[in-house]
Amino acid sequence: MSDFHTLPDSGQSSDTVLAKVRELRAAMTPSERGKLSSTAFQGRDEMGKLVYESFMEFLGWNGLFTFQEPAAAQMENDVLDICIDLAGGGEQGRANFTSGGTESNFCGLHAMRAWARKHRPEITEPEIVAPYSTHSTVHKTARYLDLKVVTIDQKPDLTADIEALAATIGPNTIGIVASAPNWPYGHVDPITEMGELAIAKNLWLHVDACVGAYILPFMRELGEDIPPYDLSVPGVRSMSADLHKYGYAPKPCSTVLWRSQEEQSYHYMPITEWACGLYLSQSFIGSRPMGPVAGIWALMHHWGRDGYLENARNLLHVKSTISAACERIEGLRTWPTHGPLMMIASDGFNIQLVVGGMEAKGWRLLGVNNPPAIHLTIDVMEAVDLQRFVDDLDDVCQRIRSGELKEEGLLSYGGVGAEEDAPKWLLSAVEIMEKQAGG
């Protein structure tokens, strides 16, 4: 067989190549073993065929050209109208498709900066204030846009400190960033109070609701205590919301939502300085897959509100089952959270030992470094897999307490594991950072 690291002189049969593809896929973490982290958001088997077939109908079709195809435009409009409704946008709300949370946050902060240049022209070194828990993509975006992010320490209970945030707003502040919920700790920030601040100080408030936007409304409907967070909150001007998380759209598929067309007007970047006339795209990227839009359009109309409610009910069952198990397991505790995220910490032993022990059993888990905790992204699980997770967790903790387990796991969202297994781009990036730090 040819070396797969090089382009072969002669092509191989489709059966040979497909066999290798399947071999590589089989070597990855099985879906049920990564369900609480790396392979979450896959939904249930019975919906998979519909979403897959809808996606394949548009495989290779470029979403950049929906302006030429009324049928494709209708599909986009239908989904975005549903998203605006779920986000509390009402008749004035607007929305755009993006590739993911990174691009959605980029679009929100880009519009914030464009708005500030018009309404706060005296500010030449713009700043954003945000809780420490704000997602890394906000910091990444700020670096691209030459914005300074000033973060505020969390309160002792890990919630956002609204008083400290208010005191930090200064003459260069153009906006506030909130989360619903934040990724590290799972809390919905005090967005009502943040909105009041934004109005009083003439600031733009962007809410990163990539995790919560398409699940929190249904959890609230089931009786969960979910604080206000969306476009219905006065002062909120933009919101990022991932459809490929709890909307269960095929990846990549996200949205950025706007309070009104006024806010959306700062988002667009029309280009006329070239030979072919006007160039205008839905968001930052140009060419984009139409398949995810078809997949989420199909799922939304297949599931309906009742389907999403049932999914939320199943998520809450998984969360409560794991929470109850942690209460029974000596040394473990969970943090209170809003919605579908869950954190497991320990007062009795090093939580990284739990990650290592669970990894040895085939579970791929993410973590929080400060303070240390296991990060679970709750998804629907079959009863047998859920029970296996709980049993494995109990077994690992027993072996830690007995001194048998001493191998730590990695508490990281995107860290480097064994060098021989890491992607080359990541190893290269780490090498560059190490050289810069040493220089």
Q: Three-class SS string for the chain?
A: CCCCCCCCCCCCCHHHHHHHHHHHHHCCCCHHHCCCCCCCCCCCHHHHHHHHHHHHHCCCCEHHHCCCCHHHHHHHHHHHHHHHHHCCCCCCCEEEEECCHHHHHHHHHHHHHHHHHHHCCCCCCCEEEEECCCCHHHHHHHHHHCCEEEEECCCCCCCCCHHHHHHHCCCCEEEEEEECCCCCCCCCCCHHHHHHHHHHHCCEEEEECCCCCCCHHHHHHCCCCCCCCCCCCCCEEEEEEECCCCCCCCCCCEEEEECCHHHHCCCCCCECCCCCCCECCCCCCCCCECHHHHHHHHHHHHHHHHHHHHHHHHHHHHHHHHHHHHHHCCCEEECCCCCCEEEEEECCCCHHHHHHHHHHCCCCCEEECCCCEEEEECCCCCHHHHHHHHHHHHHHHHHHHCCCCCCCCCCCCCCCCCHHHCCHHHHHHHHHHHHHHHC
Q: Which residues, other chains included, contact 398 with Cβ-Cβ below 8 Å and sequence gap of 6+?
A: none
In what order do the strands lie in the sheet containing 173-179?
94-98, 254-258, 236-242, 204-208, 173-179, 127-131, 148-152
Distance CA 101, CA 84 (A): 17
Round to whole Å and give the CA distance between 326 and 334: 7
Segments making up each domain of the chain, as ranges? 29-44+305-401, 62-288
C-alpha–C-alpha distance, residues 83 and 71, integer Å: 19
Contact 214, 344 (CB under 8 A): no
Each residue's pLDDT tens digit, 92-101: 999 999 999 9
Q: Which two tokens stand for residue 49?
A: 């065929």
pLDDT of res. 266: 96
Q: Does domain 62-288 have CATH number 3.40.640.10?
A: yes
Q: Would you state the pLDDT for residue 165?
A: 97
Whether residue 97 contacts residue 255, with contact meaning beta carbons closer than 8 Å, is answered with yes
pLDDT at 29: 81
- pLDDT recorded at residue 3: 63
CA–CA distance from 194 to each of 59, 104, 180 (Å)? 42, 20, 12
- Examine domains 29-44+305-401 and 62-288 and report if their fold is the same: no
Q: Could you say which residues of the chain have pLDDT below 50?
A: 1-2
Contacts from 16-23 at CB under 8 Å and sequence distance 24+? none
The residue type at 376: L
373-377, strands of its sheet edge to edge: 332-334, 341-346, 373-377, 366-368
Residue-level pLDDT at 175: 98
Tell which CATH architecture fits domain 29-44+305-401: Alpha-Beta Complex (3.90)
pLDDT at 57: 92
User: Which pLDDT score is estimated for 413?
Assistant: 67
Question: How many residues comprise the chain?
Answer: 439
Question: What's the confidence (pLDDT) of residue 7?
Answer: 85
